[in-house]
Amino acid sequence: MRKSKNNFLWAFAASLCTTIAVAQSQESLNTDRPDQSEGVYTLPKGQFQVENGLVFSKEESTDNLMLRYGLITNTEIRLETNFDVKTPDFSSTIFSVKQRLWESERYLPSVSLIGYGQYSKTDVKKYSFDACLAFESSLSEQLSLAYSLSSVQQFEGYNFTTELNYTPTSKFWGFVEYYATYQPHYAPLHNINAGIAYFIKPNFQIDLSGGRTLFQEEANYFLEVGMGYLFN
């Protein structure tokens, strides 16, 4: 049964790939991975994108799949699943809508709003609804600063991320990032990570990242490999 669920999800992705009309826009790929920060970018209307990554740590091994579709100008819908490789079973499924609010202008950052509806087998609350404000500021032609603030567990806590991006060429970019989770009755969780991404084609990215927890007696390290593909 679990295997059939996984096959169904990939069949759903494949069917979208074949039925979505070819978009006229020639925009290159812009992913929401492999970092933890939500990006401000939204897919143009009619474009479809797949992002997938495998996360390995001492505690878990997870396959994260995100399907993104440009619904209208500045608005995209997304379906995300986290598949626990060790169980094996789906640990969570998230449907979200991202809305671009405004573009960067002088000293003001670009801003997007994301709303989430999540079903989780591992969290205390099986169903939850949360939101995120994502920001991005251009520091130079090669450097940008991304940061976001999002709620967790039905607005009982929040996540904070801040990330520095470096794009030396059109084929390569890298980042360093700090992110933390704050929830009532729990100690804050602090983390750092860094990664690189390489564009095999303008619409095809492969990436590698890694990180660790901070301020804990025993640090938890993780490694992630993944890809993103834009169907133009």
CA 104, 108, 109, 115 dihedral sign is negative
Q: Is the pLDDT of residue 211 over 90?
A: yes
Can you tell me the mean pLDDT for 140-169?
A: 96
Query: Tokens in use for 24?
Result: 């006229």
Superfamily name and number for 2-231: monomeric porin ompg (2.40.160.40)
Q: What beta strand segments (E) does 39-142 contain?
A: 48-57, 61-72, 75-84, 89-102, 110-120, 127-138
pTM of the predicted structure, to 2 decimals: 0.85
pLDDT band at 126 (very low <50, low <70, confident <90, very high): confident
9: enclosing H helix or E strand = helix 2-19
- Per domain, the residue ranges of the chain are 2-231
Nearest alpha-carbon partner for 65 in 228, 207, 197: 228
3-class SS at 49? Answer: strand
Q: What is the pLDDT of residue 149?
A: 98
Q: What is the pLDDT of residue 71?
A: 98
CA 26, 29, 32, 38 dihedral sign is negative
pLDDT band at 27 (very low <50, low <70, confident <90, very high): low
